[in-house]
Structure 1
Amino acid sequence: MLKVLLVDDEKFIVQGLSVLIEWESYGYEIAGMVYNGQEAVEFLEKNQVDLILADIKMPIMDGICLLKKIREENLSDAFFVILSGYGDFSYAQQAIKYKCTDYILKPIQKQQIFELLDQVKKMYSTREEQETEKQKMSRAYFVRYMQELLLGRAEPEALAYISEKVSFSENIRYIHMELETGEIRQEPQEIRNYQKAVYAAGRQYLGMEKECLVFMDIAGREEWYDIGFVYDERTARESGMNEEEYLQHFLDVVSKNIPVRVMAYAGDTVNSIEDISQSFRTAIMAKSFQKFNIEESILYYSEGRAEAGGGILSRNIIEELLKAVEENDSRKISEKSKLVYREMKKHNMDSDMIQMNMNYLLVNLAHLGMAQDESLNQNEIIQYIRENAFETNMARSSQQNFEKFMQEYGEYLSELRRNVSKGVLCNVEKEIKEHYQENITLKGLSQKYFINSAYLGQMFRKQYGISFKTYLNNYRIEKAAEYLLRTDDKIYLVAEKVGYHDLDYFINKFISVKGCTPTNYRKKSRGYL
């Protein structure tokens, strides 16, 4: 129901209007009846309404002064209609100046009121649509700029936009959450629905002012089902909890009734949103380099951790193994791998200390991979290590498995140093153009063309300047734009035609690429906007 405020110094007119119309049948209800402009101001300071019907001549404060005060002080965005016994054009001019919706002369005819109510309902509906559109656009821009910040590729305007929308304390960190599907056999769309449920619960938990700090798919890996948010120490303090209590409570709330495990990985604390990419990077590291099958649901990463405790392997031993791997010297890799295991046994390390050493070693292996070419994508290298070193939980596996991984990583580095055949990239581009509407993945293409997926992803980014997934998304959106221009198909049908089965996800991607929603894109192309 739309709420109406009646304002007139003649009580019989106010009371007459309240009974003259069957307000509820038109979708309205009388929220209040007051008898001068000042009373209306006091009412609006405590109540929200959608439509104000006000007389122009009243004691204390007249209708024009009331309208002016409402607009200048943003007391209400309600539609405002002047009811007047004066046909003087100067009154109408002033009313128009302050965005008066209509100007009706007394005596009021019922048909005029009926037409007015229909008109206001249509205007209200249009306003709501525009506001929804504006919120979607604002959200899409915020997410896009935040993603640029998290990935360390932000321009100054991205930082300015984020800083204008949200203020942060000097202790913030990125929390990467992920649905651990494990061996659970469920359809991707079902897992996707769980992800959306966690995302919605996270936004609700943070409330209207902070809900923009929760994201989906920010890491850009379709198999991860990730949700992330920027944690601010101030938020926890305002909730009367310390950081550990707050994060655990947040995780408990968002994962309630979700039939799969939700893990959280906390990146390092940074002092400014400008440095949030460092926290994001370490959150992904925490995910990539933590041992599996652990009881904790929140894992923290700290770059200084590997050197903070006792029982750490000699730096020389680590460096010798890394050098052997970089040179792809099979004999030395075998020799230095055995030495690592002898040293761990010599120090009688427990499982936690072994894991700490393995994490430290793997972080350095990741850096070694990136050193081969500055254009290489860190996340792809981390993913390669994660898939090959952690699927069998390397820290708990045998010396032979450890050595096998080191030998394979030496081969991987050699492959990074070789140029990939341009023919493979041409084939991949052709696959996208011919099968963009299907569920094509980098992993599937790498298997088809017998090339390592991490390496193919890195070479694709180097060749095209963007990731495979971004390229595929952009191509799909361009095809969607063609359908919007050439057909009258519903938006959800267009989304399905180009490979999207989640309408909200499609709309967000379309806004990100085209700067407007699919509906507005079609309207603009046809001259409706």
Structure 2
Amino acid sequence: MLRVLLVDDEPFIVQGLSVLIDWEAEGYEVVGMAANGEEALEFLKVNQVELIIADIKMPVMSGIELLEIIKKDRISDAYFVILSGYSDFNYAQQAIRFECMDYILKPVQQEELTRILRKVSGMYQTKERALKESRQMEKAYLSRNVISLLSGKYDQINIDYVKAHMRLSEKMRYIDIEIDALSLPEEMEEEKKRAMQRQLYQKCMEYLGKEDSLHCIFDVANHEYGYDIGFLYCSYMAEERGLTEQQFLDAFSDTLTRETEAPVLMFVGSLAKDMDELSESYRTAAIVKSFQAFSSIRNITYYEAEIRKNHDGTILCKQNLDALVTAVEQNNQADINQSVRQLYEVMNRLGMDAQLIDLNISYLLFQLIHLAAEQDDHVNQEEIMHYISTNAFDRGTMRGSERHLRRFAYEYAEYLVQLRKNVSRGVLGDIEKEIKEHYMENMTLKELSKKYYVNSAYLGQLFRKQYGQSFKDYLNNYRIEQAAALLLRTDKKIYEIAEEVGYHDLDYFINRFISVKGCTPAKFRKQSREQKN
């Protein structure tokens, strides 16, 4: 509802205006009445309105004087309408000079007032859309600059922009926030997962407040199966609440879990003392996340806590672990099966606790990451860590169990085979054709990998090599190009075009469009048509 302030020194006129039309039906609410401009100013100091209707001639302070003060002192950005019993053109000139929206004569006719209200409503909606688009563009551009810092590919322009638009502190951390993958139904569609990610993003911003909400970035990793929220934590956030860092993150995590009604996980990267260290904080958060598949679940996992575990008399089952790595490298299922069994027998015989088991599994995973990198020097270690974190889950097996590790080792061995084999580009050609024909459908890399008998992680890496971008980015960019064509060739609504090219979340579509085209869909259509004319 748009709020209205009525200002007139004649009470019967104010009362008459309040009952002249059905304000609620027109989308308005009369929230205040004043007898002169001075009373109106006092009201506006503590109340916000979208429309002011004021008499032009009043004692103490006239309508023209009220309008002049409001505009000069920027007291309110409400639309202003002058009422007058005088048809003198000089009054109209004065009102127009101070940006009065309209000027109507008494006695006010119902049709005339209704026309004004509908005009204001239309103008307000246009202004709100423009403001929302502007905010979306600013947030998207800021996110792009922060992601440049996290990826380690940045320059002074990126640093200066982030410093100018984001409140920072001397101590910072990158934190990956996600809903626990194992808590979601296996058959859940991608759109529903995306909706949960969107809800998590909104809850993060609400908790942090207006200014600090800029520290939340939607979908930083931008992986095929990733539904993450990036959070740039700064030490002042805890300090200003009188909390320690751990207390702040515990409270944040508990609130998110409660309000999203799903377990929320946080992977806390290393401490960054300046912006140059943010990429390392991002990388270490990815390492922590990749190990979650083989550890007992924790709501918050700190990188320092993982690497500083001090085990007196630590026992590393190196011989058994190295044997398993060799079996995986050779893709020998019999040896994998035997090595996994012997490893768990030794760990059980030694009575290892959860921390010691984690230490042994961490050694194994580091060796496997190194092994994959040796097969193909173009393979990005972050891609391998993401593969481990998203492909090491099986709902039929307990996290960290012997059966769990065995199944993962089988799949990782096949992954290495395909890295060595280097799948032919014919597969990519077939997939490219399929994207062009079915881009509007719910396509996933996992489904395509099954169809073409290629490991999904390796197929994703092939995509990066061939096209210089992920499968997800390739599909999104293709959809955006089709959306751009529809914006130019048709008069369809923005939400209709979003649905037609495969987006069921309008906000997500607009943000993707901004990241690709540098402006909102509405602005793109307007600019393109103006250029044609």
Task: Tell me the residue number matched to 1:253.
Answer: 255
Query: Are the aligned partners of 1:180 and 1:262 in contact in 2 as well (CA < 8 Å)?
Result: no
Distance 1:361 1:266, change over 3 A: same
Q: Secondary structure at the match of 1:181?
A: helix
Does residue 100 in structure 1 map to residue 100 in structure 2?
yes
For residues 318 and 154 of structure 1, the distance between their equivalents in structure 2, rounded to whole angstroms, comes to: 43
Q: Helix, strand or coil: the match of 1:48? A: coil
> Which residue of structure 2 aligns with residue 511 of structure 1?
514
Offset, 1:316: 10
Give the aligned partner of residue 499 of structure 1: 502
Which amino acid in the other structure matches residue 203 of structure 2? A
Distance 1:216 1:318 in 2: 41
For 1:206-225, list aligned pairs within 5 A.
206-225=208-227
Deviations 1:178-221 (A, max 9, x none): 23235834432444443333333222222233333334433223
Cα distance, 1:472 vs structure 2: 0.9
Cα displacement string for residues 483-502 of structure 1 (whole angstroms, at most 9, x for unaligned residues): 33334555444334333333
Could you list the per-position Cα deviations for residues 383-423 of structure 1 after superposition, in whole angstroms to 9, with x for gaps in the alignment? 33446767678965499959x94x98688668646755333
Contact 1:424 1:449 in 2 (8 A): yes
State the alpha-carbon separation in 2 of the partners of residues 33 and 499 from structure 1: 50
Letter paired with 2:182: T
**Of 454, 458, 473, the match for 2:457:** 454
Q: Is the 8 A contact 1:306 1:360 kept in 2?
A: no
| Conserved 8 A contact 1:181-1:260 | no
Q: Which residue of 2 aligns with 1:270?
A: 272
State the SS of the aligned residue for 2:180: strand
CA change 1:205–1:419 in 2 (3 A) is same
2:4–2:53 Cα contact (<8 Å) kept: yes
Supply the AA of the counterpart residue of 2:133: E
The whole-number CA distance in structure 2 between the counterparts of 1:88 and 1:440 is 65
**Contact 1:176 1:283 survives alignment (8 Å):** no
Cα distance in structure 1, aligned partners of 2:314 and 2:72: 67
For residue 384 of structure 2, what is the amino acid of its counterpart? I
Tell me, yes or no, if the aligned pair for 2:316 and 2:360 is still in contact at 8 Å. Answer: no
The amino acid that maps onto 1:350 is D
Provide the alpha-carbon RMSD of the alignment: 4.4
Contact 1:180 1:263 in 2 (8 A): no
1:299 aligns with 301
Determine the structure 2 residue equivalent to 1:22. Answer: 19
Matches within 5 A, 1:122-141: 122-141=122-141
> What residue number does 2:291 align with?
289
The alpha carbon displacement at 1:112 in A equals 4.6
Q: Which residue in the other structure is 1:181 paired with?
A: 182
Aligned ranges 1:230-379 → 2 under 5 Å: 230-256=232-258, 258=260, 260-272=262-274, 275-292=277-294, 294-302=296-304, 305=307, 309-311=311-313, 349-363=352-366, 365-366=368-369, 369-370=372-373, 375-379=378-382
- Name the structure 2 match of 1:429: 432
Deviations 1:457-496 (A, max 9, x none): 2232122221111011101111222333334555444334
Letter of the structure 2 residue corresponding to residue 31 of structure 1: V
Amino acid aligned to 1:256: R
Instruction: Determine helix, strand or coil for the equivalent of 1:199.
Output: helix
CA distance in 1, matches of 2:263, 2:380: 28
Change (3 A) 1:135 1:219: same
Deviation, structure 1 residue 456: 2.7
Three-state SS of the structure 2 residue aligned to 1:229 is strand
Residue 79 of structure 1 deviates from its aligned partner by: 0.9
- Post-superposition Cα deviations, 1:130-165, rounded to whole Å, max 9, x if no partner, equal 223333333333444444443334454444443333
Determine if contact 1:51/1:78 at 8 Å carries over to the other structure. yes
2:200 equivalent to 1:198: yes
Deviation readout 1:236-258 (Å, 9 max, x if unpaired): 33334332232222222222265
CA distance in 2, matches of 1:277, 1:460: 24
- Are residues 395 and 17 of structure 1, via their aligned partners in 2, closer, same or farther at CA, if it must alter by over 3 Å? closer
Distance across 2 between alignment mates of 1:318 and 1:159: 47
> How many residue pairs get matched?
520
Structure 2 residue aligned with 1:52: 52
Q: Given residue 512 of structure 2, which amino acid in structure 1 is its aligned partner?
A: K
Q: In the alignment, what sits opposite 1:227?
A: 229
Q: Is the 8 A contact 1:179 1:225 kept in 2?
A: no
Shift of 1:352: 0.8
**Structure 1 residues 441 and 175, CA, compared in 2 at 3 Å: closer, same or farther?**
closer
Q: 1:62 to 1:417 in 2, by over 3 A?
A: farther
Partner of 1:225: helix, strand, or coil?
coil
Provide the secondary structure at the position in 1 that maps to 2:292: coil
Q: How many angstroms apart in 2 are the aligned matches of 1:95 and 1:287? A: 62
Q: Is the 8 A contact 2:48 2:76 kept in 1?
A: yes
Give me the whole-angstrom Cα distance separating, in 1, the residues matched to 2:146 and 2:186. 33
Match of 1:32 in 2: 32
- Cα distance change of structure 1 residues 291 and 17 upon mapping to structure 2, 3 Å threshold: closer
- 1:382 alignment partner, one of 382, 385, 388: 385
Q: TM-score, normalised by structure 2?
A: 0.79
SS of the residue 2:304 aligns to: coil
SS in 2 for 1:117: helix
| Counterpart mapping for 1:479-490 below 5 A | 479-490=482-493
Checking the alignment, whether the CA contact within 8 Å between 1:2 and 1:51 is kept in structure 2 is yes
1:314 deviation in Å?
8.3
2:23 pairs with 1:3: no
Letter in 1 for 2:513: F
Q: Is the 8 A contact 2:325 2:364 kept in 1?
A: no
2:264 counterpart letter in structure 1: V
Q: 1:385/1:116 Cα in 2 relative to 1: closer, same or farther (>3 Å)?
A: closer
CA contact (8 A) 1:282 1:302 kept: no
Supply the distance in 1 between the matched residues of 2:114 and 2:440 (Cα, whole angstroms).
Answer: 50
The CA deviation string for residues 321-374 of structure 1, in whole angstroms up to 9 with x for no partner, is 9998999899xx99x999999998999753312312432453465356457766
Deviation of 1:436 (Å): 1.9
* TM-score, reference length from structure 1: 0.79
The answer for the alignment partner of 2:448 in structure 1 is 445
Between the aligned partners of 2:308 and 2:368, the Cα distance in structure 1 is 14
Uncovered stretches (5+) of structure 2, i.e. residues with no partner: none
Q: Separation in 1 of the partners of 2:261 and 2:14?
A: 56
* Counterparts in 2 of 1:353 and 1:459: CA distance versus 1, 3 Å: same
* Equivalent AA in structure 2 for residue 504 of structure 1: D
Q: Is the 8 A contact 1:175 1:264 kept in 2?
A: yes
Preserved CA contact (<8 Å) 2:294 2:358 = no
Give the match's secondary structure for 1:256: helix
Secondary structure at the residue paired with 1:437? coil
Equivalent residues of 1:341, 1:399 under 8 A apart = no
1:25 to 1:462, Cα distance in 2 relative to 1, 3 A: same
CA distance in 2, matches of 1:370, 1:323: 14
What secondary structure sits across from 1:22 in the alignment?
helix
Distance 1:181 1:414 in 2: 28
1:74 is matched with 74
